[in-house]
Amino acid sequence: MPLHRSSVRRYLEGPGLRPSSLTAVFLMREEDSEGVGPMPTVTVREIPQRIRELEGAGIRSVKVFAGSRLRDSNASQGAAPTGLMMRAIRAVKGTAAAMAVMTETCLCSHTDSGECFVRRTPGGDIDMRVSCEAIAEQAVAQAVEGADIVGPAAMLPGSVRAVRQALDESGHSDVAIMPHVIFASSLYAGYRATMRAVPASGSRPFQISPVRPEQAVSTGLDYLREGADMLLLEPALASVDTLVRLKAVAPSVPLVPFSVSGEYLRLAVAGEDGKRDTGVLGEAYTMMARSGADGIITYGALDLARSLTAG
């Protein structure tokens, strides 16, 4: 068989993984605070330089996570126009208007409990109506500042519908919604520690058990019926079967795996110089792309994009 020749193999290769299919992650911190936790963080002042680096490497999108310095039981600062998330969005769009901005739209980095919801009373039942309203208010505030895709991440039933209604009623019907479909996992520990989003209860009750892939598919389809435009799947490597099944039943819906903090820390091993080797990530993401992923969100986006275009 002549297909073993390297020149023929290169000729027959598909598009493979491309820098433009990668989304970089910005975990935001205030200028006067030190980074805490294992994950790299970004300040608003650093955003212009980071965006120029991403553009130079061919990356066209960022996913922004940001919390509030002042937190309370109602996540009241989550939609504040002076909040860190809003300042970060403005900084990205002020540097590169064409850069697609995705946001996390959740309460866990704004509540004093680290939970993704508001309770009726301290330690009491979850107030679903108030929680969904707070998430929807965040989404509108993010859209006002220029967010292109908002990301409800609490997995509360009805939250996507509340966000869609709020965006439409506020004149932001062109802002897309990409809710998170989340399997429970220890791989989020690095993110939670860095963003101070560790739930006081010790768990996220609405996240999906890893042994229930059918629930993940059902949840994703529910989100689409509520008004979602696309779906984020996490952790990326633990969601490949869900990705394949969702692509089969909803082929026109963009599906985007999120390679979370634990995957980055374990698979992009740091050398003695501190630089992380993204080779294994590249292999994993290529597998996700051929499984139907329309894009991949990753902490290793910049280094991986540079390696893809090297030489």
CATH number reported for the structural domain that contains residue 116 in this entry: 3.20.20.70
Q: What is the mean pLDDT of the chain?
A: 94
Q: Would residue 6 count as lying in a domain?
A: no
**Gap between the Cα atoms of 206 and 128, Å rounded:** 12
**Bond before 38 cis per omega within 30 degrees:** no
Q: Which is nearest to 231 in space by CA: 203, 211, 205, 251? A: 251
Q: What is the mean pLDDT of residues 3-28?
A: 81
Length of the chain, in residues: 311
Query: For residue 76, what are the domain limits?
Result: 20-306
How many percent of the chain have pLDDT more than 90?
87
Q: What is the mean pLDDT of residues 261-277?
A: 91
Q: Would residue 5 count as lying in a domain?
A: no
Q: What is the mean pLDDT of residues 143-170?
A: 98
**Gap between the Cα atoms of 201 and 125, Å rounded:** 12
H or E stretch covering 298: strand 296-298
Known binding residues for Zn(2+) are 106, 108, 116
Single-letter amino acid code for the residue at 41: T
- Is residue 21's pLDDT more than 70? yes
Q: What is the mean pLDDT of residues 273-294?
A: 93
**Gap between the Cα atoms of 278 and 42, Å rounded:** 20
Single-letter amino acid code for the residue at 181: V
Q: What is the mean pLDDT of residues 104-110?
A: 97
Q: Would residue 1 count as lying in a domain?
A: no
pLDDT band at 202; cut points 50, 70, 90: confident
Q: Would residue 11 count as lying in a domain?
A: no
Q: Would residue 236 count as lying in a domain?
A: yes
**Gap between the Cα atoms of 167 and 144, Å rounded:** 10
**What pLDDT is recorded for position 33?**
83
**What pLDDT is recorded for position 9?**
72
How many percent of the chain have pLDDT more than 70?
95
If one counts the domains in the chain, the total is 1
Q: Would residue 14 count as lying in a domain?
A: no
Q: What is the mean pLDDT of residues 150-173?
A: 98
**What pLDDT is recorded for position 263?**
97
pTM of the predicted structure, to 2 decimals:
0.94
- Is residue 123's pLDDT more than 90? no
pLDDT band at 174; cut points 50, 70, 90: very high
Q: Would residue 143 count as lying in a domain?
A: yes
